[in-house]
Amino acid sequence: MKSNQADISNLRYNSIKSFAVNSAFPAFLSGFLLFLSFPKYGWGLWAWIAFVPLFFALKNAVTVSQGLLAGFITGLTAYIGIIYWIAFVIVNYGYMPLLTGITLMLLLACYLSLYISLFAGCLVYFRDKIPLYLTAPVIWVCLEYGKSFLFTGFPWENLGYSQYLNTYLIQFADVCGVFGLSFLIVLINAVVFEVVHKRSKKEYIVAGIVFFMMAGIYTYGIIRLHQVNAAVQKLPDMEVSLIQGNIDQSIKWDKKFKKETLNIYEQLSLKNLPGQGSLIVWPETAAPFKFQDLNSLHDQIVNLSLKTKSWLVFGSVSSAPKIDGDDYFNSAYLLSPFGEVKGRYDKVHLVPYGEYVPLRNFFPFINKLTEGIGDFGTGKGFYPLSMDDKKIGILICYEGILPLAARAYKNNSAELLVNITNDAWFGSTSAPFQHFSMAVFRAVETRLYLVRAANTGISGIIDPTGKIIASTNIFQEDTLKGNVKFVRIPTIYDKYGDILAVICFILAAFYFSRTLKWRKQCR
C-alpha cells in the first residue's frame, strides 16, 4: 500500500517537474520576451521570436488545459511587465495601500492573460489538424480584436505597436491597421518555429513564401513612404507650438494653484511665440477650471489668443445642465486668433475608474480614482473642429490609442490630428513611453500629421509616415515648435477599417467547423 502511494507521489512529482521544464519555463520566457518588445525597456525586434518558446511549450502539452495554462503563464508574465504602472497610479493617486494597488494590477493582468491563454489552448486544439502558420496569426488577431473592444476594450500595447520605430514596415498600417502588423509578427513566429522544429522541405517552402511576402510588404513601405512624402512636400505648412507645463498632479486641481498654473502656460506660450495665424496647443485640462465660466481666468486665456494672434487648443472641464444637476465633460476648446470660441470637443471614450466609475455602488472606494467632480459625461461623437477652412480632430488622452477615433475623424474630413493628454498620473514609469508610441500609428493609418501636447511629456510631432519629427523628455517644462501640414491622402484603412479582423473571424469559424467535422468522422 505504501509502495503504491510512493509510486503515485513520484509520478505526480515527475509530471510537475516535466511540465515546469518543458512547458512552464518556455511559456515564462515567451512572456518575458513580449514584455521586452515594448518601451521603455524593450526593443521591437524581440517580438519576432517572442512566441517561439511558447510554441515549443505547446508542442509538449498533452491536453488543451495544459495549453491554456502555458498561455496564461506567458500572458501573466508579459502583462505584469507591461502594465505594472497601474499599481503606481492606484497607490499614488487613488491613495490606496500598496497591497491593494498590486492586487488590482494583478487582477487586470490575469484578465488580459486569458486572451493569450485562449490563444494557446486553441493552438493545441488545432494541432496536427491545421498547420500552425495558418491558425496562429488568425486566432491571435481574433482574440486581440476582442480584447480591444470587450468590456469597453483595452487595446493598450497590442502586439503590432511594438514596431512603432520600424518605419518601412509600419507603412502597411494604412492598409490593415495595427492588427495587420500583429498578424505578421505571429505568422513569422509560427514559421520560425516550424522550420526549427520540423526542418522539412514543406516548412522551407512555406518559409520562402513568407519571406517573399515580407519583402513585398517592405517594398510597399518604401514606395508608399516616397509617395506620401512627395504628396506632403507640395502642401503649405503651418507653424505649431506645443506647450508642456509640467504641472504636478498633486497640485493640479488645488484652487490655490489655478492662477499659477495658467501663468505658466501663458508665459511658455509667449516666450516661444509662433508666427501669426499659427497653432498653439496646451495639454488635457491645462486650464484646471471651467473655461465657460466668465471670470478673470477665462479672460486671461482669451487675451492670450489675441496677443499671439494664433489659434489656441486647450483642455478644460466643461458642464451642461441635466435633470439631477450638472453633467461634466473632459473637453477641448478651440479659440481663433480673435479670441472667439470656434468649437468645443467633449471626450467620447472615457477611461473606466479614471473618468467614470462602473459599479460605483458596489465598490465605493474606487471613487477616489476620480478627480473630485464625479463621473464625466460622454461626448456626442468624433466631430472635427474648424479652423476656418481647415478641420482638426481632437483626441483626448486615451483616445490617442484608438484607431476607430482617428479613422472617424478622417472620414469626417479632418486634416490634422491633435492629441492632448495628461500623463502625470504615470510618473516616470514606462506608461508615458508606451502611450506615445501607440499614437504613431494614428498618423500612419490616416496619413495625417499628429501633434501631441502632454502635461508632463512626452509631447511630439509625428508626420503622416509615422516619423517622429520632434519630441520632448518627460517631467520638464518645455515648448516644442515645428511645422505641420493639412493633408488629404486617402487610405484603404480609412475606407474599410479592420477588414482583416473580419476575415480572421471567418477563417477561425471555418477552422473550428472543419475540425469538428473531422472529429465526428473519426468517431
* Secondary structure element (H or E) that encloses residue 355, with its range: none
DSSP helix/strand/coil, 416: strand
The single residue of 347, 391, 410, 485 carrying the catalytic annotation is 347
Grid coordinates standing for 364?
465605493
- CB distance 437 to 158 below 8 Å: no
Calpha distance 452→468 (Å, rounded): 11
CA distance 19 to 9: 15
Active site (annotated) includes residue 399: no
Catalytic residue among 397, 410, 415, 504: 397
Catalytic-residue membership of 380: no
3-state secondary structure of 310: coil
Q: Is 397 an active-site residue?
A: yes
Question: What does the block give as the cell for 78?
Answer: 508579459
Which of 203, 284, 399, 415 is the catalytic position? 284
CA gap 455, 439 in Å, rounded? 16
Residue 352: CA count within 13 A, CB half-sphere: 10
Cβ contacts of residue 271 below 8 Å, gap of 6+?
479
Distance CA 99, CA 92 (A): 12
Could you report how far apart the first and last alpha carbons of the chain are, in Å? 39
Long-range CB pairs of 29-32, under 8 A, 24+ apart, other chains included = 29/53, 30/54, 30/57, 30/74, 30/77, 30/78, 31/73, 31/74, 31/75, 31/76, 31/77, 31/78, 31/81, 32/77, 32/78, 32/81
Catalytic positions: 284, 347, 397
